[in-house]
Amino acid sequence: MDATSITWVLVAWGVITLVPLTVAQLAFLLSPHSARTKEWLIGKDEDWRDKTHLRFSLGAAWADWLVTVPLFVAGVVGIALSDAWGYVLFGAAGTISLYINVILWFLEKEYVYPSRGPLKYFTYYWGFFIYWGALALAYSVLRVGGVDF
């Protein structure tokens, strides 16, 4: 299963989407109440809404570092090695991105949308995660299913 140009475009999009998130999540894990962390994850001059918001965000940060990032990295390694399991793991990372960000799209919209505006909201804040996740999942399913692009 040799990688194609479409594969590498999706990998690059995944890197562009996930690297800033993992940096922000690491900052959050190291210093959840810092001004920089709050700016990156919540919005300008915003604070955690309550303990549930803080705890949910903390759980998401740990989940990203313990599950999503390793699946993505291992998937890219498998794809580079031309193994089908790479596409399975890549698709799993896309599934997680799609799943959690559909939830966050609705959960966070009333808070993030006003502070970031429609362009940022529908691209990097939630949009890219949903678009990339859906495409990575669909593409991986098709590749494992034997479709060649």
The answer to whether 14 and 132 are in contact (CB under 8 A) is yes
Quick check: is 149 in a domain? no
Quick check: is 66 in a domain? yes
Out of 6-10, 108-112, 120-124, 138-142, which region has the weakest mean confidence (pLDDT)? Answer: 108-112
Domain count, the chain: 1
The answer to whether 78 and 92 are in contact (CB under 8 A) is no
Quick check: is 123 in a domain? yes
Quick check: is 107 in a domain? yes
Quick check: is 26 in a domain? yes
The answer to whether 72 and 90 are in contact (CB under 8 A) is yes
| pLDDT (tens digit per residue) in 28-52 | 999 988 888 888 877 777 788 888 8
How does residue 16 score in pLDDT terms, banded at 50, 70 and 90? very high
Per-residue pLDDT for 103 more than 80? Answer: yes
Quick check: is 100 in a domain? yes
Quick check: is 65 in a domain? yes
Q: Which residues contact 113 (CB under 8 A, 6 or more apart)?
A: 121
Tell me how far the alpha carbon of residue 73 is from its chain's centroid: 12
Six-digit token string for 120:
């940022």
- Domain of residue 52 covers 5-144
Quick check: is 135 in a domain? yes
Range 48-68 average pLDDT: 91
